[in-house]
């Protein structure tokens, strides 16, 4: 036991030295900001939003004509055929040719495919925004869980140290009683054993505190030598209560607030429009086109500007009609794929509906249990304090033994630890409830 205490004490001393050297003071908002800037899943979704944005812009741009500008230069050497005064003259010359052209193409009618593609891409982008919002809520939730756990560990460590100090003072009193002949030497030995045990408890509490601090640091992706020092929160300052609300009422609130549900509904609608857009490929399509072409040849003595702009320009304006007959079943294959994607989105939405109800119900049950538990621990602490005062007085008068005193003290410490656990659990259950309802923000 002594070796364990010594080793743990050395470990804590080492960690404490690192903390003193590389301490980063954080409040909850700062911790969330760091997590949002470094969390892998959130950053991946943020990057994906750029792709969705480009897709939406591309779909909008499809309503405008596509334009291409082309130019080429070529040199022909050898026999060249020219028509001069009604005769074909063959000469061996070098002919330099410059060709230029502008081509415009625009779909005129394609059974609403452009409109459906635009609506589908817009819905996908909005769904991405909702997904990013839910991802941010998930980060807030994860930071909350780790942040509050560290604060709870600190409170439990404080209770353990306070109890250790009290028992050391109790040891001094018992030693004085033994010296005065009022208590037996066995009481002194028992108290020394109790102090040694509580030293181990305090060490374990500090190790747990350092471990959870490291877990929070890892989630925030801090430098290995940086240990956060957290601002405290008041777990008793609860601003939201869910008393008086039924599970069904909370479920309805979640259905209106959950951004991931909005995301899934948009994805279902987007997939449906994507199927309709692909089915438009079964029908004829009408497109308009405009071509402007011109060229320059070195066989013509006129200037480059005159040939390109006056002599050889050609303009073509027209419509084209495409009637699908057979394209190796490629359209049918793509329609089938999009139908499957649409059906899968429906299944995911149904699954999410069930998941939301289960999450809300479970969070509600745990919240109600946390409220009752917090009230019970208040009574537990008050009763344990009164019991310890009575036993201490009886022990001082010699009417009670060491076992009764030790038991009463252990019950008080356990009650204090249970109360701290209950208070922070209730506080966290409110965070969990808001997460389940989809209303969790940084200022929870």
The model's pLDDT over 4-22, given as tens digits with 9 standing for 90+, comes to 444 444 444 444 444 445 7
Q: Check pLDDT > 90 for residue 236.
A: no
**How far, in Å, CA of 9 to CA of 200, rounded?**
9
- List, for residues 410-424, the tens digit of each pLDDT value: 898 899 999 999 999
Question: Parallel, antiparallel, or unpaired: how do β-strands 66-84 and 285-297 relate?
Answer: unpaired
Question: Looking at residues 203-229, what average pLDDT do you find?
Answer: 92
- Tell me if 342 sits within 8 A of 271, measured CB to CB: yes
78 φ/ψ sector (left φ>0, alpha ψ -120 to 50, else beta): left
Average pLDDT over residues 59-73: 92
- Stronger pLDDT, 169 or 13, i.e. the higher one: 169
pLDDT of residue 392: 84
pLDDT tens string 298-316: 877 888 889 889 888 999 9
Q: Tens digits of per-residue pLDDT, 334-376?
A: 999 999 999 999 999 999 999 999 999 999 999 999 989 999 9
Among 11-20, 190-199, 229-238, name the one with the lowest average pLDDT: 11-20
Cα 109 to chain center, whole Å? Answer: 42
Fold (topology level) of 2-38+110-283+330-437: Outer membrane efflux proteins (OEP) (1.20.1600)
For residues 383 and 126, is the Cβ–Cβ distance under 8 A? no
- Indicate the helix (H) or strand (E) that contains 394: helix 330-396
Work out the average pLDDT over 36-42: 91
Higher pLDDT, 305 or 89: 305
Q: List for the chain the helix, strand, coil content (%; round to 5).
A: 70, 15, 15
Higher pLDDT, 299 or 258: 258
User: In this model, does residue 244 exceed pLDDT 90?
Assistant: no
Torsion over CA of 422, 423, 428 and 431, rounded to 10 degrees?
Answer: 130
pLDDT for 90 equals: 67
Instruction: Give pLDDT, residue 85.
Output: 53
Grade residue 81 by pLDDT with cuts at 50, 70 and 90: low
The predicted structure's pLDDT at residue 249 = 92
**Ranges 225-239, 300-314, 422-436: which has the least confidence:** 225-239
Nearest Cα neighbor of 209 from 431, 15, 32 is 15
Report how far residue 8's alpha carbon sits from residue 101's, in angstroms, rounded to the nearest whole number: 81
pTM metric for this prediction: 0.81
Q: Please report the pLDDT score of residue 194 as a whole number.
A: 87
Nearest one of 306, 278, 279 to 294, comparing CA atoms: 306
CA 348 – CA 265 distance, rounded (Å): 10
pLDDT value at 40 more than 80: yes
What's the confidence (pLDDT) of residue 348?
96
The DSSP string of 189-240 is HHHHHHHHHHHHHHHHHHHHHHHHHHHHHHHHT--TT-EEEEPP--TT----
* Residue 150 predicted with pLDDT over 90: yes
pLDDT at position 86 is: 57
| pLDDT value for 88 | 66
Burial bucket for residue 174 (CB in 10 Å: 0-12, 13-18, 19+): buried
CA 394 – CA 407 distance, rounded (Å) = 14
pLDDT > 80? residue 154: yes
Give the whole-angstrom CA distance, residue 262 versus residue 342: 16
Q: Give the confidence band of 238 by pLDDT, cuts at 50, 70, 90.
A: low
Q: What is the mean pLDDT of residues 256-266?
A: 95
Mean pLDDT of 166-194: 84
**According to the model, what pLDDT value does residue 6 have?**
43
- Specify which of 30-44, 241-255, 259-273 reaches the highest per-range mean pLDDT: 259-273
pLDDT for residue 239? 55
Average pLDDT over residues 26-33: 92
- Evaluate whether 323 touches 130 at the Cβ level (below 8 Å): no
Q: Is the pLDDT of residue 41 over 70?
A: yes
User: What is the per-residue pLDDT for 191?
Assistant: 84
Report whether pLDDT(46) > 90.
yes
Cross-strand bridge partners of residue 55: none
Alpha-carbon span 432 to 427, nearest angstrom: 9
């Amino acid at each position: 036991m002594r070796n364990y205490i010594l080793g743990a004490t050395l470990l804590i001393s080492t960690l404490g030295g690192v903390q003193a050297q590389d301490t980063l003071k954080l409040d909850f908002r700062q911790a969330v900001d760091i997590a949002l800037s470094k969390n892998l899943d959130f950053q991946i979704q943020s990057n994906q939003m750029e792709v969705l944005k480009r897709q939406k812009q591309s779909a909008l741009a499809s309503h405008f004509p596509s334009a291409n500008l082309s130019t080429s230069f070529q040199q022909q050497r050898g026999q060249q055929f020219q028509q001069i005064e009604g005769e074909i003259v063959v000469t061996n010359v070098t002919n330099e040719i410059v060709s230029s052209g502008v081509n415009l193409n625009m779909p005129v009618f394609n059974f609403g495919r452009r409109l459906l593609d635009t609506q589908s891409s817009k819905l996908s982008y909005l769904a991405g925004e909702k997904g990013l919002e839910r991802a941010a809520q998930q980060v807030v939730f994860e930071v909350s869980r780790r942040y509050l756990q560290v604060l709870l560990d600190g409170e439990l460590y404080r209770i353990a140290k306070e109890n250790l100090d009290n028992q050391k003072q109790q040891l001094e009193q018992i030693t004085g009683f033994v010296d005065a002949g009022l208590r037996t030497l066995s009481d002194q030995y028992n108290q020394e054993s109790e102090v040694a045990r509580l030293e181990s408890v305090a060490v374990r509490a500090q190790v747990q505190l350092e471990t959870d601090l490291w877990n929070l640091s890892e989630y925030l992706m801090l430098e290995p030598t940086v240990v956060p020092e957290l601002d405290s929160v008041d777990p008793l300052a609860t601003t939201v209560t869910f008393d008086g609300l039924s599970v069904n009422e909370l479920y309805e609130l979640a259905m209106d607030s959950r951004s991931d549900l909005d995301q899934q509904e948009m994805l279902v609608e987007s997939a449906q429009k994507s199927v309709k857009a692909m089915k438009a490929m079964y029908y004829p399509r009408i497109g308009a086109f405009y071509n402007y072409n011109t060229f320059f040849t070195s066989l013509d003595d006129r200037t480059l500007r005159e040939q390109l702009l006056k002599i050889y320009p050609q303009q073509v304006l027209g419509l084209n009609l495409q009637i699908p007959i057979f394209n190796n079943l490629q359209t049918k294959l793509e329609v089938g794929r999009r139908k499957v994607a649409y059906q899968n989105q429906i299944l995911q939405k149904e699954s999410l509906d069930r998941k939301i109800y289960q999450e809300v119900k479970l969070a509600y049950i745990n919240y109600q249990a946390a409220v009752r538990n917090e009230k019970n621990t208040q009574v537990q602490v008050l009763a344990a304090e009164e019991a310890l005062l009575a036993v201490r007085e009886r022990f001082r008068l010699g009417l009670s033994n060491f076992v009764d005193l030790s038991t009463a003290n252990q019950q008080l410490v356990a009650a204090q630890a249970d109360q701290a656990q209950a208070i922070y659990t209730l506080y966290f259950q409110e965070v969990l409830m808001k997460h389940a309802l989809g209303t969790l923000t940084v200022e929870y």
